[in-house]
Amino acid sequence: MILYMQQEGRGIGLANKIKAYALQEKGRDTVEANKELGFEADMRDYGVGAQILAALGVKKMRLMTNNPKKIVGLEGYGIQVVGRVPVETEPRPENLRYLVTKCQKLGHLLNLKEKIFREPG
């Protein structure tokens, strides 16, 4: 089963996400930009998704995520996360700062060190 919750821009909405992008172009990272606009680092609500899964009878699951808050949120609704499937791509110069920020400031579980410091060839 796949449940996709469309929560653009970490829950701040598309218009504010565009404003956050403008701040990022001026040097803020994604968390700093959201906070400067008056929002928490991540405004998404995972409770609705957990309630949908519980209503469908899901008791145990493997979760595709890099965000440990989603695991805690699901477990708070009595859904046991028995495995995590990472969602990773090869970092690129254009998104490396963003990915590092997600790890350092949001606690995301990304295996960046191995990918960043891999020897060429």
List, for residues 78-90, the tens digit of each pLDDT value: 999 999 999 888 8
**How does 49-59 read in b/e, with b if 16+ C-beta sit within 10 Å?**
bbeebeeeebe
- Active-site choice (42, 62, 92, 97): 42
Residue 92: active-site member: no
Q: Is 45 a catalytic residue?
A: no
Supply the pLDDT for residue 121: 43
Q: What distances in angstroms separate CA 17 from CA 11, 20, 99, one per listed residue?
A: 9, 5, 17
Split at pLDDT 50, 70, 90, the class of 115 is low
- Considering just the CA atoms, what is the radius of gyration of the chain in Å? 16
